[in-house]
């Protein structure tokens, strides 16, 4: 420690723990949804809201808490977000019915602010040459924790009560909150300003309407009046939000910043990356869990899948979590030498390759495992590059809200990808099997993910013009006084 500031490696370790705590809770409930439906005596629609409400609140809270971190101190707001997250986890462990569980999961959604606030702390505290690698590691945690969360959830659901999902989460979150408060220094960079309540309300309304329409569209019908009305209302909210932000003196999100080429193209790429990655992550467990203990007349029609348990299905995602751990920091190192748009583009090309492989080769377990390992490298490269591109493109005082909006775009893309995958499986079922998806549905869904990722890789090339990027690197070298 020098000058009263904690060494940045200690800060990085604590922020990594906080990120893992959030990522685990995001995905741990997915394998447990059937158990929750049975134990809490509810319907499929309402138990799905255990996941949906978490994503809704996370999408709304992320840019708002990111902005508050820029204003009042990133460490302070991070501790507050973790404490709200902790309260939600304890409440979820004690939930007495589906309504209380949904309410507590809504509180948990505040934990999503961990990522934009962590990116801001890293930018403020770390040596310039360490920023890319550190952000790469934190970005990788998002995927690593998600993969391990599904594996851990399978073990807990198969051997313990679902309440232990939230007890385990509460322990991690409490430890992270204490360590952040004790060891992470408060950011020296703040932007005193008033809270833009109008902008926050309009953005929240638009995100809520959009995500509800996306998550419920399959059950309501994509062309139903309610789905279309929510989509139209979401569009109206977003238009009103953009207009309001252009005319208030201290906007929550500076529209001019969002229109900057690196920010705009990186956010569009995040939308595509979320679509391709989450669509694949949702489909693979469903594919490998396809049962084989079916009636004889049905068995000969279902010629795919591996009859995996919840625990084994999670193990198929492990290769992606392991390769993610190394890919994120490596992307930061490569980006320092080549420019960050190239790791971003390469990462999405690898995602496209993995998805195309799953669409073509899926008869053996090793084919799934290899594709997931490649997917992890691609996602690690892409997520790390996105976060660093955003932090480099905006002013230090805008880091929290800018990276928060990038996380929102990734979440929205993920929800769209998951729903498209689910809709394709429903549309392609095997006759006389009671709704068992056909392998064609999986193949089309994986192929669409591959096409989307390839489009994102192409889009990433235009994040920054080549000449401008070289000029920016030259100017940075002159400022730093080194190579």
Q: Report residue 236's pLDDT band, with 50, 70 and 90 as the boundaries.
A: very high
Q: How many CA atoms lie less than 13 Å away from 200 in the CB half-sphere?
A: 16
- Here the tokens at position 261 are 């080429």
In angstroms, the CA 477 to CA 483 distance is: 6
CA 289 to chain centre: 24
In angstroms, the CA 136 to CA 388 distance is: 8
In angstroms, the CA 218 to CA 286 distance is: 17
Q: Is 73 helix (H, G, I), strand (E, B) or coil?
A: coil
Length of the chain: 483
Phi and psi based region of residue 193 (left: phi greater than 0; alpha: psi -120 to 50; beta: remaining): beta
Give me the helices (H) in 160-260, please. Answer: 163-183, 197-220, 225-247, 255-258
Nearest in space to 257 (alpha carbons), one of 118, 402, 468, 151: 402
Q: Cα angle vertex 215, ends 212, 220, to 5°?
A: 90
pLDDT tens track for 335-372:
667 777 888 888 899 999 999 999 999 888 898 999 99
| Helix H or strand E encompassing 469 | helix 466-480
Q: What is the DSSP letter of 187?
A: P
Q: Report residue 302's pLDDT band, with 50, 70 and 90 as the boundaries.
A: low
Tokens 């049962």 label which residue? 291
Answer yes or no: are the C-beta atoms of 125 and 185 closer than 8 Å.
yes
Answer yes or no: are the C-beta atoms of 303 and 443 closer than 8 Å.
no
Q: How many CA atoms lie less than 13 Å away from 357 in the CB half-sphere?
A: 19
In angstroms, the CA 62 to CA 26 distance is: 14
Give the per-residue pLDDT at 91: 93
Give the per-residue pLDDT at 100: 92
Nearest in space to 412 (alpha carbons), one of 140, 52, 64: 52
Tokens 């690898």 label which residue? 350
Average pLDDT over residues 227-254: 86
Answer yes or no: are the C-beta atoms of 425 and 304 closer than 8 Å.
no
pLDDT tens track for 35-93:
787 788 877 667 777 877 887 788 778 777 877 887 778 888 889 999 999 999 999 99
Average pLDDT over residues 330-338: 71
For residue 278, pLDDT beyond 60: yes
- Here the tokens at position 391 are 């932090």
Range scoring the smallest mean pLDDT among 137-151, 263-277, 415-429: 137-151
* Residue % of the chain over a pLDDT of 90: 11
Average pLDDT over residues 453-464: 86
Out of 208-222, 264-278, 304-318, 429-443, the most confident range is 264-278
pTM for this prediction: 0.75
Tokens 């309260």 label which residue? 87
Give the per-residue pLDDT at 264: 86
- Here the tokens at position 86 are 């902790």
For residue 292, pLDDT beyond 70: no
């Amino acid at each position: 420690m020098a000058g009263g500031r904690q060494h940045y490696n200690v800060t990085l370790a604590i922020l990594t723990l906080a990120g893992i705590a959030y990522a685990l809770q995001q995905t741990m409930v997915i394998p447990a949804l059937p158990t929750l439906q049975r134990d809490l005596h509810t319907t499929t629609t309402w138990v799905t809201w255990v996941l949906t409400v978490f994503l809704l609140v996370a999408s709304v809270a992320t840019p708002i808490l990111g902005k508050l971190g820029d204003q009042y101190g990133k460490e302070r707001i991070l501790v507050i977000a973790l404490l709200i997250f902790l309260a939600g986890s304890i409440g979820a462990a004690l939930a007495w019915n589906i309504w209380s569980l949904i309410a507590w999961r809504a509180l948990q959604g505040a934990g999503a602010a961990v990522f934009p606030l962590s990116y801001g702390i890293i930018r403020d505290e770390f040596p310039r040459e360490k920023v890319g690698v550190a952000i790469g590691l934190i970005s990788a945690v998002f995927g690593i924790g998600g993969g391990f969360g599904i594996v851990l959830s399978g073990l807990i659901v198969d051997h313990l009560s679902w309440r232990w999902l939230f007890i385990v989460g509460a322990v991690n979150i409490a430890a992270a909150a204490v360590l952040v408060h004790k060891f992470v220094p408060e950011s020296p960079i703040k932007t005193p300003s008033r809270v833009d309540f109008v902008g926050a309300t309009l953005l929240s309304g638009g995100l809520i309407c959009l995500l509800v329409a996306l998550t419920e569209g399959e059950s309501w019908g994509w062309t139903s009046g309610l789905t279309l009305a929510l989509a139209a209302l979401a569009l109206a909210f977003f238009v009103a939000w953009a207009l309001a932000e252009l005319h208030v003196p201290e906007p929550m999100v500076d529209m001019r910043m969002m229109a900057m080429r690196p920010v705009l193209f990186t956010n569009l790429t995040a939308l595509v990356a979320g679509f391709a990655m989450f669509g694949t992550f949702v489909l693979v467990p469903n594919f490998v869990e396809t049962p084989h203990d079916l009636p004889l007349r049905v068995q000969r029609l279902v010629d795919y899948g591996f009859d995996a348990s919840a625990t084994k299905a999670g193990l198929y995602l492990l290769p992606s979590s392991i390769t993610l751990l190394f890919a994120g920091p490596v992307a930061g190192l490569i980006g320092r030498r080549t420019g960050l748009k190239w790791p971003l583009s390469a990462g999405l090309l690898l995602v496209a390759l993995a998805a195309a492989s799953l669409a073509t080769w899926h008869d053996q377990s090793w084919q799934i495992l290899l594709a997931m390992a490649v997917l992890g490298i691609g996602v690690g490269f892409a997520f790390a590059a996105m976060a660093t591109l955003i932090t480099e493109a905006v002013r230090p005082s805008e880091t929290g809200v800018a990276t928060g909006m990038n996380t929102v775009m990734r979440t929205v893309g993920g929800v769209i990808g998951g729903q498209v995958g689910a809709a394709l499986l429903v549309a392609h079922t095997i006759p006389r099997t009671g709704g068992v998806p056909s392998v064609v549905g999986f193949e089309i869904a994986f192929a669409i993910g591959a096409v989307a990722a390839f489009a994102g890789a192409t889009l990433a090339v235009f994040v920054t013009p080549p000449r401008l990027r070289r000029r920016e690197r030259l100017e940075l070298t002159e400022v730093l006084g080194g190579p």
